[in-house]
Structure 1
Amino acid sequence: MPPWVGGIIGVVLIVVLWAVVAVSPFGRDGAIPTPLDVLQLFGRAVGDPSYWEAIGVTSLAAGEGYLIGNGVALVLALIVLLVPRSEGLATQLAVVTSCLPLTAIGPLVAIMSQAGSRTTSVFLAALSVVFTTVIGSILGLKSANTTQLDVVRAYGGSRLTEIRKVRLIAALPSLLAALKIAAPAAFLGAVLGEYFAVGLDSGIGVLLLNAQFYNDATRVWVLAITSGAVAGAAYFLIDRIGRLLTPWSAGDRTRKAAF
């Protein structure tokens, strides 16, 4: 059975379970809308320009934070390779960024930001990706073949040459896997940042706050599914890019399956 068939079966089972719960006592008072209600509202939202504007501004903030956070993570990983003794410090910094509660950092960043600024969304998006990319980058850069590294050293290559000729290529699969996981985390951080920002008039987080204020459960579900779809699309896009850049990482499994 092709893998996509299992995915479709899983989605169908989730929708059926959702419909059953919606009409059960757990979904009374409209707390859990039916799939049909959500689908109808989603159809109306697709034709609303403000809906697409919210997706765009949140995605833009998430993308900016994604680039900043991953840039910081890659710099830390390279420092670890150039100065091996700094690995403990870099790892601790990454763990700290993962352990910091975003719900506590968000208000502090919002207070220090100007009204109407998306700094909070960008900052939380960046903070959400540092740990994953640092760990993935360090593991990938350290997974280089020792024989290839010995050849570079035998020909007088420096540590920078090792990184450029061997380690970066060896690290690509792990790095791209980390970047793939970081994409949904960045979008979630951007949405959460909009909860704390002041003066924003658009964004997924702003629409969620508005739906919560009016106790509109159906709209909350539509926005939640939209957030999941955008995050999933980013995950899928980076996965496709990873397969194009590192075809050998999937090619081994294909050849093994053929035998």
Structure 2
Amino acid sequence: MLTSEQLRLLRHDLLHLANISYSEVMDELLDHYASLTEKWMREDYSFDEASRKAWNELGNGRGILHIQERYKKLLLHQLQLQHWSIVRRYFRWPTLITTLLVGTLAYLTVRAWPSSILSALFFVCVFAPYLLFIPSELRLFWQKQIQKRALLTSLRREVVYRQARYGNYLYLFVIQLPILVISLFFDGTNSRTSRPYLFEWHTALSAALAFVAIMYTLTYLELYTKHSAKGFANA
């Protein structure tokens, strides 16, 4: 069994020689690194010799860093699959009832409100997921800047945050792309930088866009809740 000081030295190797930057990866690799070191120590090697052999087994710094990148890609892929699984569930019984209600709400909203307000609501919906991260951002700021604590980043938090980028894509496609296209065709004479063109064309199209924005927010909120319950650990 390794002592706390020996574990600290192993952690130091991973942190400074392999540049491990995520807390979840650090926990996994430290456990594996310690197990390999203990294995060699049972073969009557000293701690220093055993840790060197274990380090080589892990793949040295570059190999260990590759493990971190592979772990990150795997987690991101799993998260994307989970998000799409949530989306598909909204079109299955009995959640389909909620989906139909959302569609009805979107249609009634489009008929009642002008396009300028609809575009503003669309903006709020697709960027609302970022608001979920404000408490954790403030907590990290306090720990790093005020308490001066050196913390590793939570990989789970980073990939969940990265999934919110699809809201950016929706905004670019629905709001910014039509403005760009019209400015190219009309040389800017009939375009405005904030005009919601797609919301002015047809009620059905506006309702569909509102529906997509609301569904995106609902599914992302469920995804965030699921993973935040597991904890966004920073260590």
* Superposed pair shares fold, TM > 0.5: no
The TM-score with structure 1 as length reference comes to: 0.28
Larger helix share, 1 or 2: 1
**Greater Rg by CA:** 2
